[in-house]
Amino acid sequence: MKLAEVSWVDAQSILGGVDTVILPVGSTEQHGPHCPLGTDHMTAEAVANIVGDRTGLPVLPVVAVGVSSHHRQFPGTLWVRPSVFRDYVSDVILSASSHGPRKFIIVNGHGGNTASLKEVAEDLRSDEDIFTAIANAFPAKLDGHAGEDETSVMLHLRPELVKMGKAVDTKQNEALAGIRMKAQKVGPADFGWDTIDLSPTGVFGAAGKTIEATKATAPHGEEIVKAHVDELCAFAEELKAAKLEDLLPKPHK
């Protein structure tokens, strides 16, 4: 059930009868020359809706803009500061909890949101007695950003928005200022990277690897989504059955 599509009267009975709600969160950012800017939030919303339909859990409206300033060299990318994002997501959850639910599943479609969402979950659990679980909209291991796997997922979910004629295979940059890179690291160190440091096309993954978006297919995307949704539904059922008091932090000594 999509909360945005019902009246307040229906919402009153729906939210009063559940203690667990799903919130899809994503981003609006470049996904190579071939995938839409909304890939992350569209995937998060689609996966959240499938899980909601199968488990009977309400789904809140998607948060469509996230922490994406590292894609800013590519036009159309939108972003908010992490502090703004944290406050916004937290307030959405607090407002929903005021109507009854105290357990939330965030279906997150963008890795750049993860650190901020963990902070939100920690604060809500410690200060508000609200348990928030953060689940990826994608499986943990994909071949890269806007690569074969993610493009395949979009070909399955929203094929009309994918322009495979513009898909590219992109070899990832191997060094920054002469220092060898490993994934999104310089040597052994993390740094405040931008996508353009890694790839000229916006398609990126491991340093030195060629990410092959051109190999994407809808059947491959369907396979990825089905297996992941099955796992998320099983988790949602476990969370529904769990007692809130058992999910909250123990008293500090």
Q: Please report the pLDDT score of residue 206 as a whole number.
A: 86
Give the number of other CB atoms < 10 A from CB of residue 208.
Answer: 14
Average pLDDT over residues 206-229: 95
Measured CA to CA, the distance from residue 9 to residue 204 in angstroms comes to 46
Measured CA to CA, the distance from residue 193 to residue 179 in angstroms comes to 13
Give the number of other CB atoms < 10 A from CB of residue 227.
Answer: 10
Tens digits of residue pLDDT in 13-71? 999 999 999 999 999 999 999 999 999 999 999 999 999 999 999 999 999 999 999 99
Q: Please report the pLDDT score of residue 245 as a whole number.
A: 95
Q: Which of 66, 25, 27 is nearest to 146 (CA)?
A: 27
Average pLDDT over residues 130-149: 93
Q: Please report the pLDDT score of residue 28 as a whole number.
A: 98
Average pLDDT over residues 64-82: 98
Residue type, 46: A
Helices within 128-217 (DSSP H only)? 148-157, 195-198
| CATH class of the domain whose range is 3-246 | alpha beta
The structural domains of the chain, with segments of one domain joined by +, span 3-246
Q: How confident is the model at residue 142 (pLDDT cuts 50, 70, 90)?
A: confident
Q: Please report the pLDDT score of residue 211 as a whole number.
A: 95
The helix/strand/coil state of 227 is: helix
Measured CA to CA, the distance from residue 152 to residue 213 in angstroms comes to 9
Q: Please report the pLDDT score of residue 18 as a whole number.
A: 95
Query: Which tokens sit at 216?
Result: 């994407």
Tens digits of residue pLDDT in 176-202? 999 999 888 999 999 999 999 999 999
Q: How confident is the model at residue 140 (pLDDT cuts 50, 70, 90)?
A: confident
Helices within 26-147 (DSSP H only)? 39-55, 82-97, 114-127
Query: Which tokens sit at 88?
Result: 């916004």
What letter would DSSP give residue 109? -
Question: What percent of the chain clears pLDDT 90, i.e. is strictly above it?
Answer: 93
Q: Measured between alpha carbons, how far is residue 9 from residues 14, 20, 57, 251 in Å?
A: 9, 19, 17, 38
